[in-house]
Structure 1
Amino acid sequence: MPDFPNIILYAIPFFMLAMLLELYVTARKQIKTYEPKDAFSSIAMGLGNVFLGFASKALVLLVFFWIYDNFRLLEIPVAWWSFVLLFFADDLSYYWFHRISHECRLFWASHVVHHSSKHYNLSTALRQTWSGGFYTFIFWLWLPLLGFHPALILLQMSISLLYQFWIHTEAIHKMPRWFEAIFNTPSHHRVHHGSNPIYLDRNHAGILIIWDKLFGTFQPELEEEKVTYGLVKNIKTFNPIRIAFIEWLHMFKDAFTGRKSLKSRVLYLLKPPGWKHDGTGKISDDLRQDWINSKKHL
């Protein structure tokens, strides 16, 4: 088994230094982006994610190796060209994981953690799920099946996560045009964290923004539409435990209480956030269309 380092652990000191630098730069630019309680909540969520990651990664490796050892279709060696192939395969997997995490409430229940801050800074990148690591890896199962070594897959997943740290900032307005056209950037990802109707469920990219452009989920940051960060309905808490599990409680309450059909109960797990069995709810597409219609009448 290849001996790859846990690069996320090695990167923790860099994360801390980068946040201090960002705080200095944004203060100089008079951008109020940090709020102490919010930042500490994000850091606590990140530490919890790292701690639980030891268990979740053990599960992921177990499943990946089971598929790799028993069902792999090809023998892909650990070589430079396999890294290149895996880079694109992993990034495509991340795109669909991320997109489904916004379009299916069962996955949103864990992913909502990352969107629960009303602030946007490098500490927000650390606001990670405590539950998602135990089941969202299913979007990567095709990689060991194809023949990529499990250790190589986990390394590339870590590289992707590491890349996405720096794009959580307001200190960088725009990157060069060629970079904005190909890669995920702070501007693209600010859109993703917006609760403005036009920005909802857009720019799901990990490293490459090309997937959003290819699959129709790209939205540029508009100068006339300043991003409002957070959720459509914010959770209003800094308690890490509540942040980690409050959407699970809401989802199970919607699915398993009250008088409704079995089909409706299942759909509360599978439909997008905002869906209601009685037709009174509005999902992101509805909110976006309402926004577009309102602009047409101005």
Structure 2
Amino acid sequence: MALTDMLLAVLEESGLRPLWEAVSPWLALDERQLIFVFATPVFIGVALWEYLKIRHNPALMDAREAVRNFALGAGYQTTELLFAGIIAFPAYALCYHYRVFELELTWLTGVLTFLGVDFCFYWMHRASHRMRWFWAAHVVHHSSERMNFSTAMRQNATNIFNGMWVFYLPMALLGFNPVWIGIAYALSLVYQFFIHTTLVGRLPGWIELVFNTPSHHRVHHGRNPGYIDRNYGGTLIIWDRLFGSFVDEDAKDPPDYGITRPVTSNNLFVLWTHEYVDLFRDMARPGSLLSRLKHLWNPPEWERPASSDAGTPHARTPVNTDQSG
């Protein structure tokens, strides 16, 4: 049986063939993309409101950069629309076909879907900072030196090809329908848009304890030594508290936004690809295949010493700001 026929058979047996056809780019949008389509006008409206509030402060707002951020976001949404259905969805369908449990959609499974997606997001986001292959896509989100709502739209058009979606496959294997996973993920990203701002201070204590907030996420975008690689949470901050990556915002040490090796170009393609270029340049240096491949999964700041083929961590300032979502 041909691979295509096998895939279609799996989709048919699992009841997901209609959904796969729906997410194929030449037919229609899926539910996740529809959420982004409806949310985008809201994002634009809120960003305009914020612009009117802070437009006179160049440290907080640059109109040209804000437009560029939305252009970066449009590129991300376009590649997701065109390729998610033919790259990621077949893998989800295969996992769902061999699912461990038969789960119906109830209030309980709905809550579990939300918690599961947020848990997977935490580890995906953490890997996006601590594994260079994933950081190559994620770095564009952190490369702005301003924190405002438009920064949330600053995403990489290569995300779908980068493979960060694999972190959610275990949920489909457990029995969570890929549609539910996609919807929960989209709603999480909508929530995260609203935590990219300097206009909201500290929220009531119980909210700061449980949820990711603007205060927590400002830390995440800071390149201050004490803020790098902290506060990875999506909707909830409890995972950071559980796994030791939480840091509170310190009024005496306000976040300095950006990355430790700033990108000087404003070209969209350079912003999307500069870290891939640096990554492959480092991999091209002489050495064994294994030592070259280590650049893919080692942290962004890792370097192979010139005197050693095997390569060990080389002391240097981390290149990521620690960022999102």
Question: 2:58, 2:213 → 1: CA distance?
Answer: 19
- Which residue is equivalent to 1:296? none
Q: Tell me by how many angstroms 1:117 deviates.
A: 0.7
On the 8 A contact 2:260/2:318 being kept in 1, the answer is no
Question: 1:267, 1:236 → 2: CA distance?
Answer: 27
- Which residue is equivalent to 2:157? 130
Which of 270, 273, 297 is 1:242 aligned to? Answer: 270
2:114 maps to a residue whose letter is F
On the 8 A contact 1:23/1:34 being kept in 2, the answer is yes
Q: Deviations over 1:172-200 (max 9, x none)?
A: 11111110110000010000001111100
Q: Tell me by how many angstroms 1:77 deviates.
A: 0.9
On the 8 A contact 1:203/1:219 being kept in 2, the answer is yes
Q: Tell me by how many angstroms 1:103 deviates.
A: 0.5
Report how many aligned residue pairs link the two structures.
284
Question: 1:206, 1:142 → 2: CA distance?
Answer: 18
- Which residue is equivalent to 1:209? 237
Question: 2:293, 2:286 → 1: CA distance?
Answer: 13
2:100 maps to a residue whose letter is L
- Which residue is equivalent to 1:65? 93
1:56 maps to a residue whose letter is F
> Percent same amino acid among aligned pairs?
37
Which of 56, 65, 74 is 1:38 aligned to? Answer: 65
Question: 1:238, 1:229 → 2: CA distance?
Answer: 17
Deviates more, 1:164-173 or 1:129-138: 129-138
2:250 maps to a residue whose letter is L
On the 8 A contact 1:201/1:284 being kept in 2, the answer is no
On the 8 A contact 2:132/2:299 being kept in 1, the answer is yes
Which of 204, 218, 221 is 2:249 aligned to? Answer: 221
2:155 maps to a residue whose letter is Q
Question: 2:233, 2:210 → 1: CA distance?
Answer: 10
TM-score (norm 1): 0.90
1:43 maps to a residue whose letter is F
- Which residue is equivalent to 1:261? 288
Q: Deviations over 1:25-44 (max 9, x none)?
A: 3358x684111232122111
Question: 1:39, 1:195 → 2: CA distance?
Answer: 20
Q: Tell me by how many angstroms 1:10 deviates.
A: 0.3
On the 8 A contact 1:26/1:32 being kept in 2, the answer is no
1:99 maps to a residue whose letter is R
Q: Tell me by how many angstroms 1:116 deviates.
A: 1.0
2:116 maps to a residue whose letter is A
- Cα distance 1:31–1:180, how it changes in 2: closer, same or farther (>3 A)? farther
5+ long unaligned stretches in structure 2? 1-15, 20-29, 306-312
Question: 1:119, 1:13 → 2: CA distance?
Answer: 22
On the 8 A contact 1:74/1:146 being kept in 2, the answer is yes
Q: Does 1:110 align with 2:140?
A: no
- Which residue is equivalent to 1:282? 316
2:209 maps to a residue whose letter is A
On the 8 A contact 1:275/1:283 being kept in 2, the answer is no
Q: Does 1:173 align with 2:221?
A: no
